[in-house]
């Protein structure tokens, strides 16, 4: 019987019937496909919606990125672009001329903001200092070069040791202090380049704990009072040394709050105001603050909210490190290498804030 079924002629067998069926149900099938296609098309939108979801593992320092306005005692009076790309450090000359170390050069800006002269260097200038007599001391990674007031090289000091990584220069009347973060000490030179001693190295008898430097940020400032201000970022403080290397005072505490130094290692750069107060620059929470000569927190120059806080990936911390200098009138110049601009900050007039 089954065999008989199997021998049905072709036109009545499955082929024809299923085709008609197929054609009839084709609409249904294509409708199904259309629905699947619509789903697939909406896929990206679903993903986009989901992708804006928050990061459950966010590292949140957001509340420290907003500064209480009552602490901000400075206002921006001017802002200009760095004359050269990759600016790194600032220094002020005796007549208030601004020197900018940028890329492989040092530029002196004239009165009107134009470029006075430019010194080409063999490598990036790490830091620089200007003596009262106008001599310009530029530290490359491992040695110091001396230029006269017209930008002519007059001397090249040889590198003290192989590990040297100079990150700060302060020039006094009879000597030069170079902060060597690689050697974890401040090197004291006379004006001819003779190494006279090392300051700030660990010395239990003299009560010096030593610099803790996770990264190449060691700055030195020399004030009129003859004391060196040196930051000790790993210990979150600023230390005051005599020229002979005695530790006179240390202040600062670790906290992300506004009155202390945030993160693992801050401050990174210093400046001194004429009256002995100290300007500190921090990384991580990029902000600039002023402390009294004895180390009490006084006010904020530029809060974290005024700087771009997210350093693009792959950009090294050094390229985002703020630097500041203060002129004789108490104005503070802040270099933001990330934005490539320099801000001029002046104290708000009395009455503007408490």
**Stretch of 113-121, 123-131, 205-213, 291-299 contacting another protein, by CB under 8 A:** 205-213
The nearer residue to another protein, 31 or 96, going by C-beta atoms, is 31
Q: Which of 97, 264, 344, 346 binds another protein (CB under 8 A)?
A: 264
Q: Which of 97, 243, 311, 344 binds another protein (CB under 8 A)?
A: 311
Residue 259 makes contact with another protein by CB under 8 A: no
Residues 234-253 that bind another protein (CB under 8 A): 234-236
Helix (H) or strand (E) holding 106: strand 105-109
Nearest to 347 by CA among 282, 299, 291, 313: 299
Report the largest interatomic distance among the alpha carbons of the chain, rounded to a whole angstrom: 122
Distance (Å, rounded) from C-alpha 129 to C-alpha 152?
A: 15
233 torsion bin: left (phi>0), alpha (psi -120 to 50), beta (else): alpha
Q: Which residues contact 18 (CB under 8 A, 6 or more apart)?
A: none
140-179 footprint of another protein as x/- string (CB under 8 A): ------------------x-xxxx-x--------------
Distance (Å, rounded) from C-alpha 8 to C-alpha 17?
A: 13
Q: In what order do the strands lie in the sheet with 287-291?
A: 269-272, 278-282, 287-291, 297-302
184-203 footprint of another protein as x/- string (CB under 8 A): ----------xxx-------
Residue 19 makes contact with another protein by CB under 8 A: yes
Residue 262 makes contact with another protein by CB under 8 A: yes
Residues 28-57 that bind another protein (CB under 8 A): 28-29, 33, 40-41, 43-45, 47-48, 51-57
Q: Which of 277, 283, 289, 331 binds another protein (CB under 8 A)?
A: 283
DSSP 295-306: --EEEEEE-GGG
Residues 53-82 that bind another protein (CB under 8 A): 53-62, 64-65
């Amino acid at each position: 019987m089954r065999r008989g079924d199997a021998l049905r002629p072709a036109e009545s067998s499955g082929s024809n019937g299923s085709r008609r069926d197929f054609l009839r149900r084709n609409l249904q099938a294509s409708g199904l496909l259309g629905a699947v296609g619509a789903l697939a098309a909406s896929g990206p939108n679903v993903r986009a919606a989901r992708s804006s979801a928050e990061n459950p593992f966010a590292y949140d320092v957001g509340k420290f990125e907003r500064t209480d306005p009552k602490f901000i005692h400075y206002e921006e009076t001017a802002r200009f672009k760095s004359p050269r790309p990759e600016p790194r450090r600032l220094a002020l000359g005796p007549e208030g001329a601004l020197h900018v170390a940028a890329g492989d050069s040092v530029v002196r800006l004239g009165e009107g903001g134009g470029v006075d002269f430019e010194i080409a260097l063999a490598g990036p200038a790490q830091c620089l200092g200007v003596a009262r007599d106008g001599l310009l001391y530029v530290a490359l990674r491992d040695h110091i070069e001396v230029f006269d007031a017209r930008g002519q090289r007059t001397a090249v000091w040889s590198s003290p040791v192989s590990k040297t990584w100079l990150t700060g220069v302060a020039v006094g009347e009879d000597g030069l202090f170079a902060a060597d973060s690689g050697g974890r000490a401040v090197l004291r030179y006379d004006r001819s380049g003779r190494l006279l001693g090392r300051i700030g190295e660990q010395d239990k008898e003299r009560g010096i704990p030593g610099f803790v430097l996770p990264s190449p940020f060691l700055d030195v400032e020399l004030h009129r009072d003859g004391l060196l201000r040196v930051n000790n970022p790993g210990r979150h403080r600023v230390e005051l040394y005599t020229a002979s290397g005695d530790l006179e005072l240390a202040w600062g505490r670790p906290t992300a709050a506004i009155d202390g130094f945030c993160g693992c290692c801050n401050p990174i750069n210093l400046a001194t105001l004429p009256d002995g107060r100290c300007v500190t620059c921090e990384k991580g929470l990029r902000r600039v603050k002023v402390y009294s000569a004895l180390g009490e927190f006084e006010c904020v120059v530029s809060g974290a909210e005024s700087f771009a806080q997210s350093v693009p990936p792959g950009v090294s911390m050094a390229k985002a490190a703020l630097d500041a200098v203060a002129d004789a009138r108490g104005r503070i110049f802040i270099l933001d290498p990330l934005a490539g601009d320099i801000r001029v900050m002046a104290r708000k007039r009395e009455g503007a804030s408490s």
